[in-house]
Structure 1
């Protein structure tokens, strides 16, 4: 399913927040940042920082930061690495919120959503004004209108 989505979206870069639950060489062969989730047996980084233009992304699975309970621990880590955007998973629940000028995104899950009926993934786009636009989609490409938004980070 992930390969089909990646082929359809044609993103400049893909961020996978862990729980890929397969051998890492089975992931799509595209520009990708991937981190190890608590259900992964393959060796992958536990966290990563990726930069695109003026944006700095912090990527982690989230289980080490108790993201099911609060975003406060991951907020501290994002501030430590001076990232603009935090991408995380673990809860399988879509999150898109801004706090202290930083954006926190959980794409949800394309296979095993929790707390929501619809599986999801997120697409982030920037524009020339420095605004970040986040849209959520179902695996078949339908927009999930009640999720996402536009955020000014600079």
Structure 2
């Protein structure tokens, strides 16, 4: 099972479309963790499940998505409602409450993944305005044979950012 996860594209359309087209045939689901600043039906988001971020004014996106894909239960939110710039504790409470295996979020613009209490957390960073490392990134989550892997990719060419890759068993 593979999931493409991106966030914080802040109005970019061509770049979002390029990323989705680059990976569309190899993933089972696509999540956008908010702050797309696009309309619900915008063609750049075709095929993506999208949540509402703090910069998505007037957008008719949900605040969260709960979705099971091939036995993996995803919880997706932007993160601003859980104060993720200060702590991930409220997010972790919600992820555990809904029984998530994977929790995806954005808002901080910092690419990271980690495991806490059996839940894998993924922030794909920002494809437009990254913080921390200056690389514009998105993520791919892959699960097979009782092993999960998160790879981060450069927005412009899809190259893997090796130092951010993580494997969880």
| TM-score class, shorter | over 0.9
CA displacement, residues 21-59 of structure 1 (integer Å, 9 cap, x when unaligned): 1212223322x2210000002111001101111110000
Say whether residues 1:25 and 2:36 are aligned partners.
Answer: no
SS in structure 2 of the partner of residue 146 of structure 1: helix
Higher relative contact order structure (alpha carbons within 8 Å, sequence separation ≥ 6): 2
SS in structure 1 of the partner of residue 132 of structure 2: coil
SS in structure 2 of the partner of residue 73 of structure 1: helix
Say whether residues 1:61 and 2:75 are aligned partners.
Answer: no
Please provide the CA RMSD for this pair. Answer: 1.0
Q: Which stretches in structure 2 are left out of the alignment for 5+ residues?
A: 1-14
Cα distance, 1:126 vs structure 2:
1.3
Cα distance, 1:142 vs structure 2:
1.1
Report 1:2-151 matches (<5 A).
2-10=16-24, 11-26=27-42, 27-30=44-47, 32-41=48-57, 42-127=59-144, 129-139=145-155, 140-151=157-168
Q: Which stretches in structure 1 are left out of the alignment for 5+ residues?
A: none
CA displacement, residues 63-89 of structure 1 (integer Å, 9 cap, x when unaligned): 011111111110100111010100000
TM-score of the two chains, using structure 2 as the length reference? 0.85
Contact 1:59 1:86 in 2 (8 A): yes
SS in structure 2 of the partner of residue 24 of structure 1: coil
Distance in 2 (CA, whole Å) between partners of 1:21 and 1:52 is 26
Distance in 2 (CA, whole Å) between partners of 1:110 and 1:102 is 24
